[in-house]
Structure 1
Amino acid sequence: MPYEPPADLAGMSLIEIAQAVESRKLPPVDQWDPPETIDSHMRIAADGTWFHDGSPIRRPAMVRAFSTLLVRGEGGEHFLITPQCRQTIEVEDAAFIAVDVKLDDGALAFRLNTDDLVVAGPDNPLRAEGSRELPAIYLAVRHGCEARLDRSTWLALASHALETGGEALNVTSNGATFSLLPQ
């Protein structure tokens, strides 16, 4: 069955985005507790490129499939979880990259580099790291994993924050307010 990416984020309503998020079937990795831990020999670079044994994974479908198995442990380490084993995976910065944002009906919807859609809010908060001069904005995705906003997405979000709240650089999504300035 061929992969059909979601429609262009700009052309989707908040209801359509919510339906796309709900319809996504993800493996129940939170229910799996495999007895064995091994090294996957995989790495996710800061730019979102996935590698195996030092070579980039060039098939987007493989990256999308692996990304559904990602979890982040309490110590910040990342794993690919299957019922049989837990595999370590090196993540240089964030497991995902947020590549687009849309504001609709009081909610901020993000498209990730894996074509996942995530709506910011209490369950998927935004957080700011870095410095005021060079902030890094992260979005909680699932199972402890985060997406870092790419430059164009960050600029679109900052522009929205300036238009609605001025110098405070706050944004609101699904009733939750987030600062775009690191503390």
Structure 2
Amino acid sequence: MPDPTALASWSPELSGEIDIRILADGSWTHEGSPIQREGLVRVFASLLRREPDGQYYLLTPAEKWRIQVERHALLAIDCERTGDNGEGVWQVLLNTGGRCRIGGEYTLHSAGRDGEPYVELPNGLTAQITRSAWYRLLDAAELEDGRAFIFSGGDKVILGATD
């Protein structure tokens, strides 16, 4: 699988559009049929980038294919905290098997365009945080001035108001 920084540097010309769609529930389809092979979905996810035009593309160094995404490219299906005390880092586990830290350049948003929380990922992607993962974050949250927050890698990450 390509390194996300390598993917960011690829700039092939548009090859066209391919009938691949990522549905709101995180499943992938090709020509209307579900893609059943998890390994294939993982490979596709590793080649996915959202560009400034808001469109999603599968890329290789030589090809660029536009695909459709209903809501978010990925789902954050769980989260965990690694490390000790204030140095701990919260990570989300993605439905494609990857992990991404919360905080720093990967901003957490408590209410997105669809009202659901999500986290920003590399290459312009976002992952909707599932209800169970969100509740896990809220359960670990600290409260201050009517707001819930966590610390991740030294960053104070606001989860939202508690009222």
With 115-124 and 172-181 compared, the bigger mean Cα shift is at 172-181
Unpaired segments ≥5 residues, structure 2: none
1:179 matched residue in structure 2? 158
1:17 matched residue in structure 2? none
2:111 matched residue in structure 1? 129
Asked whether the 8 Å contact 1:39–1:87 carries over to 2, the reply is: yes
Q: Report the CA distance between 1:123 and its aligned residue.
A: 2.3
Q: Report the CA distance between 1:180 and its aligned residue.
A: 2.0
* 1:41 counterpart = 2:23: no
Runs of 4+ in structure 1 displaced over 6 angstroms?
none
Q: Report the CA distance between 1:94 and its aligned residue.
A: 0.8
Q: Report the CA distance between 1:37 and its aligned residue.
A: 3.4
Question: TM-score, with normalisation over the residues of structure 1?
Answer: 0.77
Aligned pairs (5 A) from 1:96-111: 96-104=74-82, 105=84, 106-111=88-93
2:49 matched residue in structure 1? 71
Letter in 1 for 2:132: S
Q: Report the CA distance between 1:36 and its aligned residue.
A: 2.7
Question: TM-score, with normalisation over the residues of structure 2?
Answer: 0.86
Aligned pairs (5 A) from 1:12-161: 25-26=2-3, 28-104=6-82, 105=84, 106-130=88-112, 135-161=115-141
Secondary structure (helix, strand or coil) at the match of 1:84 reads: coil
Partners in 2 of 1:177 and 1:71 — Cα distance?
Answer: 28
RMSD of aligned C-alpha atoms?
2.1
Asked whether the 8 Å contact 2:2–2:46 carries over to 1, the reply is: no
Letter in 1 for 2:62: Q
With 172-181 and 36-45 compared, the bigger mean Cα shift is at 172-181
Unpaired segments ≥5 residues, structure 1: 1-23
Q: Report the CA distance between 1:135 and its aligned residue.
A: 4.4
Partners in 1 of 2:110 and 2:140 — Cα distance?
Answer: 16
Partners in 1 of 2:150 and 2:53 — Cα distance?
Answer: 29
Partners in 1 of 2:40 and 2:112 — Cα distance?
Answer: 31
Partners in 1 of 2:155 and 2:68 — Cα distance?
Answer: 31
Aligned sequence identity (%): 32
Partners in 2 of 1:52 and 1:31 — Cα distance?
Answer: 27
Secondary structure (helix, strand or coil) at the match of 1:136 reads: coil
Q: Report the CA distance between 1:113 and its aligned residue.
A: 0.3
Partners in 2 of 1:176 and 1:61 — Cα distance?
Answer: 34
